[in-house]
A and B are shown apart, each in its own frame.
Chain A
Amino acid sequence: GAGVSQSPSNKVTEKGKDVELRCDPISGHTALYWYRQSLGQGLEFLIYFQGNSAPDKSGLPSDRFSAERTGGSVSTLTIQRTQQEDSAVYLCASSLAGYNSPLHFGNGTRLTVT
């Protein structure tokens, strides 16, 4: 069956440009999560959605970062005026409702800001 799909898989952008990262969750999964992982590091929580609403945006590093989810499905993470420190792998995951439901991860978008 279809898993979590992220696009693009790789993105190289110049400092100061805006980028959009897309996540297509597993059908029927109401919860959607974004994480950032720098090389060799752990997963840094950014934001999560329950349906189209984001109850917790506390992990967004700055106001240059925003995310939305429409139709309870696809989500877009936007980074404005990218900086070199934004370079990382951005991971999206989805799950069913319920605290016993595991996350299913996409393969990530590797963002490089030059």
Chain B
Amino acid sequence: AQKITQTQPGMFVQEKEAVTLDCTYDTSDQSYGLFWYKQPSSGEMIFLIYQGSYDEQNATEGRYSLNFQKARKSANLVISASQLGDSAMYFCAMRNSGSSASKIIFGSGTRLSIRP
């Protein structure tokens, strides 16, 4: 069975500092994808970054990077040089390989607050 765990309900970070949001997962599949989404107070869900289970390098997208440790089943999101606009809920999600589509489950989320 799939499971995603985000152990940090809330975090406070000073503007311009880097922040790491934790995500661990559990799956018996060898092929899977991991996603991070941002949900600002407006409620929209914004896709940030993707990491495939066979990707040898950590994914990066601008100020976002993923610290992927496959053996430990963790996929932590790192945000560098945090900005006030980064204040939001952040969700980690996982999708196992399937025929052509499969269930995607989400963690419980981390509420990130950036202090000026």
Q: Point out the residues of chain B lying under 8 angstroms from A42, CB to CB.
A: 91, 106-109
Q: Say how far A51's CB is from chain B's closest CB, in angstroms.
A: 9
Task: Flag if A30 contacts B100 (CB, 8 Å).
Answer: yes
Instruction: How many A-B residue pairs have C-beta atoms within 8 angstroms? Tell me.
Output: 66
Which candidate, A14-22, A78-86, A90-98, is the interface stretch facing chain B?
A90-98
Contact flags A36-75 to B (C-beta < 8 A → 1, else 0): 0000011101001010000110000000000000000000
Chain A contact patch, size range: 20 to 34
Question: Which 4 pairs, one residue from A and one from B, show the smallest C-beta to C-beta distance?
Answer: A31-B101, A105-B45, A97-B100, A43-B106
Write 16 A-B pairs (CB below 8 A) sorted by A numbering: A35-B106, A41-B108, A41-B109, A42-B107, A42-B108, A42-B109, A55-B98, A56-B102, A93-B45, A98-B100, A102-B35, A102-B50, A103-B35, A105-B44, A107-B44, A108-B43
B interface list, Cβ under 8 A from A:
31-33, 35, 37, 43-45, 47, 50, 52, 91, 93, 95-109
